[in-house]
Structure 1
Amino acid sequence: MRQLLWIPGLVLVVGVLVDLLVTCIQAGEGRLNRAAQRLLYAGLHLIAQRTRRRGVLYWSTPVLITGSLVVWTMLTWLGWTLIFWSQPGALIGADSGQPATFLATFYFVGYTLSTLGLGEIIAPEPMWRILTDVAAISGFFLLTFAITFIVPVAQARADRRELALALHRAGPGAQALILNAYTDHDRGLHSLTVDLHSVLNRVDAAHMNTPYLHRLRDHHAQDALDLHLPALGEALLILFSALDAEPPRGLRRALTSVDSLSRTFVETQGGPLPPPPPFPDLGALRRAGLPLKSDAELQAGLHAHAELRRRLHAMSRAGLWDWAEVAEPQGTPPLNTRAS
């Protein structure tokens, strides 16, 4: 049986390499990375729910990135250990000349992958010497891909923060976004469509290329994409379904970006979707003089986009936000002034 251990070892080494290629180069996410991150994220989310502390999710970035790197490293390490261990005498002690034990083989593979090349254990036969070189090269590739995996996260998180902060200051909340744009912005409702087009495209493209970004949470509400993107989506749907006037230019394009981001979120998170959130009460918008259709027409329009609203609802729940925080114009002083 020992001589067949090279088979599962090779499967592990090749599997990690394919997972790295898919995750770091192709637009998508490898199966190993997805499984490891979903398990770790589920644990963090459970702790946050039980303790009722959203701040726990802030640790998702270091925990998930470190978890992925550890899984790739340990599986590669184990795979090469099984390959070298499968042949008795493939490795021997440099001084003693005795066959290496399993732990010694594990140690040899570790310093080979890290390209240290200590030389305490050697491969006496040419084939195993060549495989030692191949193992060292795979370790170099592992390090290179690890850097490729980490670096894009910083830029993507900066774009996410830019979008979330812009929406936080323009709202917060779906109806506050509409009302403040309509009454207090020199570009009116276009500030929710045309003005956000560039950053929405960047954020959408980043999450399509690296879907695991949807699992990374922010500590403060002003930076939370899982709070402000659903608010923007709900605001755009209200305008699309209820505005009794010419829609702002770029509305469909902005909705398409929000829809795309919500789809990659669902693909990344997995699991069933919650029901659509409740229909909004547009009383504050009507009192502000915004030309709106009847409630029946609003509900018909939102019902046609029920699937998108379910995805937006799931996104807010993933960040442990209540839908009232997403949709209602609460906590915005300008709103209170106008309502009175």
Structure 2
Amino acid sequence: MQELQIGVGLLIIVFTFLDFFHTTLSGNGFGWLSGKLNRGLNIIILQNRSRQIFGFSGLIHLLVTTFMWFSLLLLGTFIIFTSSQDMVVNGSTFVPATYIERFYFTCYLLSTVGIGDFIPGNSTSELLAGILSFSGFILITTGLTYLLSVVNAVLNKKELSLSIATLGQDLEEMYNYFKNEDDLASLMSDSSDLRQQILRNSSSYLAFPMVNFFLTRDREFAVIVQLARLYEVLVVLRMDWQEGTRQYSKICSIIKALEYYLQLGLEKPESASDCKEKLDTLRSFWMEKGHVYKSYKLIDKQFTANLEYAGWQWEDVYKYSDQE
């Protein structure tokens, strides 16, 4: 029975660290458990219609996920040290510890503090205590490093959003900004930097998936709204240039970066609601500019899925600045 209980505890600990390292170090997105947890949290946060909680969404995701990892680590370790009476004993009297005292010992062991009033009671317990004391240290130090990386990625995300927002407060301003320039001069000079910013933020989807749950109520900071605006304008601007021209190539390079960003998104196109009729209506806006918008079904679904996961709609992309 003791071996079985120790095995269960170790299994919980191993599963916790697999999920933890997959999320923080693998660069391949969330682990299975943290992915499920954060998607569920995001649904709850989005149900808050006033969006008052949006400003704290990223912090909530970080705290809840970290609490889950540490709680599972604590649970697995506690199960191990309750597998037999002599696993933890009083440091002075060597009397077997109570369950509360074992929980107390487990907390101090994982925090690597260790007071010494309770100690391992046999060789198996000593071996496991030595190994498990490192697990708490690893989780805390790696978690702090990950936290700093997430904060940096969030700042990069805001920088990208603001960079696009400065091109125009709405679609019409952004379109006119480029259209009124000779040969798209500013777009030609800034295209490389803009493309690099987009690609840099694309990697955040996988390397730091927590970044995507830092939601905002302000459209100028909502990167997916700004990217959708930029994409809509670039698709229309591309119609004015022939293939092979420098302008056409530069526009295509930014559009490809945007498409790559969407491909790495946490939300799959299948999760998007049906938006074709809505988009057709909104895109009639371009007919006033003398263009018939050429849509791509997959891209539309990818943008829709990513907009919805962040609490936005296509109406927010096409909304005029005086409606803000």
Tell me, yes or no, if structure 1 residue 142 matches structure 2 residue 142: no
* Offset at residue 262 of structure 1 (A): 1.8
* Offset at residue 265 of structure 1 (A): 2.4
* Offset at residue 160 of structure 1 (A): 0.9
- Aligned equivalents of 2:162, 2:13: Cα separation in 1: 42
Partner of residue 99 from structure 1, selected from 91, 96, 101: 96
* Offset at residue 188 of structure 1 (A): 4.8
2:206 aligned partner, one-letter code: M
Aligned to 1:312: 303
**Superposition TM-score, scaled by structure 1 size:** 0.83
Aligned residues: 313
List alignment gaps of at least 5 residues for structure 2. Answer: none
SS where residue 72 of structure 2 aligns?
helix
Partner of residue 85 from structure 1, selected from 82, 87, 108: 82
Tell me, yes or no, if structure 1 residue 190 matches structure 2 residue 194: no
Tell me, yes or no, if structure 1 residue 152 matches structure 2 residue 149: yes
Tell me, yes or no, if structure 1 residue 126 matches structure 2 residue 149: no
**8 Å Cα contact 1:23-1:149 kept in structure 2:** no
Give me the CA root mean square deviation. Answer: 2.5
Aligned to 1:173: 170
1:115 aligned partner, one-letter code: T
Aligned to 1:326: 317
Tell me, yes or no, if structure 1 residue 230 matches structure 2 residue 228: yes
Q: Residues 270 and 249 of structure 1: is their aligned pair in 2 closer, same or farther, counting only changes over 3 Å?
A: closer
Q: Residues 317 and 251 of structure 1: is their aligned pair in 2 closer, same or farther, counting only changes over 3 Å?
A: same
- Aligned equivalents of 1:284, 1:187: Cα separation in 2: 24
Between the aligned residues of both structures, percent identity stands at 20
**Superposition TM-score, scaled by structure 2 size:** 0.87
Show the 5 A alignment for 1:10-159: 10-28=10-28, 29-46=30-47, 48=48, 52-159=49-156
1:285 aligned partner, one-letter code: K
**8 Å Cα contact 1:233-1:312 kept in structure 2:** no
SS where residue 155 of structure 1 aligns?
helix
- Aligned equivalents of 1:154, 1:134: Cα separation in 2: 31
**8 Å Cα contact 1:174-1:231 kept in structure 2:** yes
Deviates more, 1:151-160 or 1:257-266: 257-266
**8 Å Cα contact 1:276-1:307 kept in structure 2:** no
* Offset at residue 32 of structure 1 (A): 2.1
SS where residue 156 of structure 2 aligns?
helix
* Offset at residue 283 of structure 1 (A): 3.7
- Aligned equivalents of 1:127, 1:135: Cα separation in 2: 12
2:10 aligned partner, one-letter code: L
2:200 aligned partner, one-letter code: R
Aligned to 1:201: 199
Tell me, yes or no, if structure 1 residue 274 matches structure 2 residue 265: no
**8 Å Cα contact 2:241-2:248 kept in structure 1:** no
List alignment gaps of at least 5 residues for structure 1. Answer: 287-291, 334-340
SS where residue 12 of structure 2 aligns?
helix
**8 Å Cα contact 2:89-2:95 kept in structure 1:** yes
SS where residue 92 of structure 1 aligns?
strand
2:113 aligned partner, one-letter code: L
